[in-house]
């Protein structure tokens, strides 16, 4: 699948880290380092603008290394970029640690995963088909 992209940053285009990786690494596009204080959030630009094929979304997800080593994660994970969005790809990062974290230009801050999706039509009914699970929700199996 080909995705049209405009890159207004000095960073290279996002790349897969390994041959079978699902996510492309997104990099920060900053004029100066950004300090993310504990329990604060920031909108981090990437300099990328996408044109996704209809029927696809791009999901912005955290990087596990930033999460475990520094407590940095994507706040609205996964963030969704719709096929009709043409603005800059931005990443909402939050610092869940007790130490300030500095984001530098070009630093890998998140992953971008392409996902096919369907749009639905509602079928309003008065009953739903029964299942073995039924309405059992959070913790219904006794395992939390």
Q: Can you give the pLDDT at residue 138?
A: 77
CA distances from 138 to 18, 134, 142 (A): 35, 12, 9
Q: What is the pLDDT of residue 60?
A: 98
Residue 141 is predicted with a pLDDT of 73
Residues contacting 126, CB < 8 A, separation 6+: none
Beta bridge partners of 72: 95
CA-nearest of 36, 14, 7 to 111 is 14
CATH topology of domain 4-116: Deoxyuridine 5'-Triphosphate Nucleotidohydrolase; Chain A (2.70.40)
Residues 6+ apart with CB under 8 A from 81: 50, 52, 57, 58, 59, 60, 89
DSSP assigned state of 64: H
pLDDT per residue as tens, the chain (144 positions): 999 999 999 999 999 999 999 999 999 999 999 999 999 999 999 999 999 999 999 999 999 999 999 999 999 999 999 999 999 999 999 999 999 999 999 999 999 999 999 999 999 999 999 998 888 777 777 766
Q: Where are the domains of the chain?
A: 4-116
- Among the listed residues 24, 30, 31, the one whose alpha carbon sits nearest the alpha carbon of residue 44: 30
Q: In angstroms, rounded to a whole number, what is the distance separating the alpha carbons of residues 24 and 114?
A: 9
């Amino acid at each position: 699948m080909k995705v049209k992209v405009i890159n207004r940053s000095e960073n290279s285009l996002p790349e897969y880290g390994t041959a079978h990786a699902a996510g492309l690494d997104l990099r920060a596009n900053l004029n100066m380092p950004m300090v993310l204080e504990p329990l604060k959030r920031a909108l981090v630009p990437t300099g990328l603008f996408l044109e996704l094929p209809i029927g696809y979304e791009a999901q912005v997800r955290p990087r596990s290394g930033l999460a475990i080593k520094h407590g940095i994660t994507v706040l609205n994970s996964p963030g969704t970029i719709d096929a009709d969005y043409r603005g800059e790809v931005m990443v909402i990062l939050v610092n869940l640690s007790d130490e300030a974290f500095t984001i530098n230009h070009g630093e890998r801050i998140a992953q971008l995963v392409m996902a096919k999706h369907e749009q639905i039509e509602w079928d309003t009914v008065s009953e739903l088909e029964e299942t073995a699970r039924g309405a059992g929700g959070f913790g219904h199996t006794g395992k939390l």
